[in-house]
Amino acid sequence: MSEAKLPRILIVDDEIYNVDLIEAYLTPDYEVIKAYDGEEGLRLAGEGVDLILLDIMMPGLSGYEVCSILKNNEETRHIPIIMITALFEDKDRQEALAAGADEFLSKPVEQIELETRIRTLLRTKKLSDCLIAEKKQCQNYLEIAGVLIVVLDENGDVVLINKKGLETLGYEEEEVIGRNWFEYFLPEGVSGDLRDVFRKIMSGEMHLDEYYENPIACKDGSERIISWQNSSLIDDNGQIYGILSSGEDITEKKKAEAALRMYMSELQHSNDLKDLFIDIMRHDLLNSAGLVKGFASVLLKDPKDDKQKHVIETLLKNNEKMIDLINQASKFAKVESLEKVDLCPVNLSDILRDVLDSMGEEIEEKGVNVVNIAPQRCLAIANPIVGEVFLNYISNAIKYSPEGEQVSIDIKDAGDFWKFTVTDRGEGIESEDKIRVFERFSRVNKVNVKGMGVGLAIVKRIVDLHGGEVGVTDNPEGKGSVFWATIPKA
């Protein structure tokens, strides 16, 4: 038995490293085809690709031009196109959609988001391909066997029907000729209305619609939906004496369209459920957790004995962890749903100082020495949400640092970017774990520290929205780690 054929993805980008990175994301689930300019992309697009990842800014033909050409070509117009670009303004998205793009992603592209968009578009294309294949099949069949043809006289009686029409209805010719079309061959739900329309057309009160769709009633009790092309039969005196209709059976096409609409409805329902769950988690669960915290704090003021005090303290401790998890999960859901953030000039040093001020109590309780050596002025193009990056990095460093150790914070010049670093002297992270710490719900095991690993996933998403990068290295001064993130300069 032959192996299943992999979907073919065409990557069109003049940057070799971008192509190699996306190829690494997609291998081995897809067959990757690479093109490094618009002309080569146009040539390869006609070689049976299932989806195209298209850069915008390229020498020669731009991504907009390539997309427009492909979408105006009958052979390639049904291929889904995802624009992937460093451009992020609304006008860039609008221009991409105007050119015919199906999706728009900003660089750097997150692997999970890219794969999700690809799977969604490929599923939609599969349904579209079914419709296209069905249409071609119908056309080929009509060329061989002919279309359904019916001729009605002025009373609506059948005076002529071809072989295809008889096959569709399931009758012999003698069972059809001379019978009234509206009385015998249309479902009860539409026969009366269509008979009235027919009478008005014959009397000249109404213009004949050239194209019309309606069901017909077959001999076996089933119904078929027919797309009609109608023509009036006119005598020498200019009077209408009948109607000739040629029809195409579009029943299966309608079923496929209904299936596609249902799929889109289910997809929207899934998104609505996700939003509902986030609202419940953010409001209802957080409110309940807050009540637990409040009542437990009241009980702790006057415990009956040491045992009860220990139980209440344990309850408060675990309730705080639950509140933290709810807040972190809500934040992640919020930033994950964002496709872009509004950017403006900000001083990263000011945001950093505000974050450190808000963490004073946490720093004092842990007993660590936090040293901020960042410059006083670090102008960047960012959204104030970048403060969450500072907060998560510093909070993790405090959690994982032994009492009395030092946590160093700095913002360094890195060319077109500012590089924010947090250096701790904790246990450090194994090499094989460094690549996983920024994944959602992935947390390296640490003694006496519990968590679900959402914070660093929030960091990565926020930095991705700013066009920066994140990472972690070993502390060059010995034990511990250096977490870093880059934010574009103003």
Same domain for 286 and 189: no
What are the phi and psi torsion angles at 350 (to 5°)? -65, -45
CA distance 368 to 450: 19
Q: What pLDDT does residue 447 have?
A: 40
Q: What is the 3-state secondary structure (H, E, C) of the chain?
A: CCCCCCCEEEEECCCHHHHHHHHHHHCCCCEEEEECCHHHHHHHHCCCCCEEEECCCCCCCCHHHHHHHHHCCCCCCCCCEEEEECCCCHHHHHHHHHCCCCEEEECCCCHHHHHHHHHHHHHHHHHHHHHHHHHHHHHHHHHHHCCEEEEEECCCEEEEECHHHHHHHCCCHHHCCCCEHHHHCCCHHHHHHHHHHHHHHHHCCCCCCCEEEEEEECCCCCEEEEEEEEEEEECCCCCEEEEEEEEEECHHHHHHHHHHHHHHHHHHHHHHHHHHHHHHHHHHHHHHHHHHHHHHHHHHCCCCCHHHHHHHHHHHHHHHHHHHHHHHHHHHHHHHHCCCCCCEEEEHHHHHHHHHHHCHHHHHHHCCEEEECCCCCCEEEECHHHHHHHHHHHHHHHHHCCCCCEEEEEEEEECCEEEEEEECCCCCCCHHHHCCCCCCCCCCCECCECCCCCHHHHHHHHHHHCCCCEEEEECCCCCCEEEEEEEEEC
259 part of a folded domain: no
Do 363 and 399 fall into the same domain? yes
Residues 94 and 216 in one domain: no
Q: Are residues 121 and 151 located together in one domain of the fold?
A: no
Specify whether the CB–CB gap between 85 and 62 falls below 8 A.
no
Domain final position from 101, 134, 167: 134
Residues 446 and 414 both lie in one domain: yes
One domain, residues 128 and 231: no
Residues 6+ apart with CB under 8 A from 261: none
Does residue 2 belong to any structural domain of this protein? Answer: no
Same domain, 164 and 237: yes
Q: Give the Å distances, CA to CA, from 43 to 69, 71, 81.
A: 11, 14, 15
- Quote the domain boundaries for residue 238: 146-249
Res 296: pLDDT: 76
Question: β-strand 406-414 against 369-372: which pairing, if any?
Answer: parallel
Residue 286, pLDDT score: 65
How far is 10 from 49, CA to CA, in rounded Å?
6
In a domain, 258, yes or no: no
Residues 331 and 360 in one domain: no
Give the integer Cα–Cα distance in Å for 474 and 402.
Answer: 17
**Residue 52 located in a structural domain:** yes
Task: For residue 121, tell me if it sits in a domain.
Answer: yes
Structure-block tokens of residue 202: 């014959």
Radius of gyration of the chain (CA): 33
Q: Is residue 307 part of a domain?
A: yes
CATH number for the domain that contains residue 68 = 3.40.50.2300
pLDDT at 448 (0 to 100): 38
- Separation CA 206–CA 43 (nearest Å): 51
Residues 6+ apart with CB under 8 A from 308: 299
Instruction: Identify whether residues 129 and 159 lie together within a single domain.
Output: no
Cα gap 189→186, rounded to integer Å: 8
Which parts of the chain register pLDDT below 70? Answer: 1-4, 88, 135-146, 268-288, 321, 323-338, 440-453
418 & 383 share domain: yes
Residue 264 backbone phi and psi in degrees, to 5: -65, -35
Spatial distance between the Cα atoms of 79 and 75, rounded to a whole number of angstroms: 9
Per-residue pLDDT at 139: 45
Residues 43 and 122 in one domain: yes
Decide if 141 is inside a domain: no
Does 364 reside within a domain? yes
**How many structural domains is the chain composed of?**
4
Assess contact for 411 and 375: CB atoms under 8 A. yes
CATH of the domain at 468: 3.30.565.10
Residues 195, 284, single domain; the answer is no
User: Of the candidates 292, 314, 337, which is a domain's last residue?
Assistant: 337
- Out of 82, 102, 134, a domain closes at 134
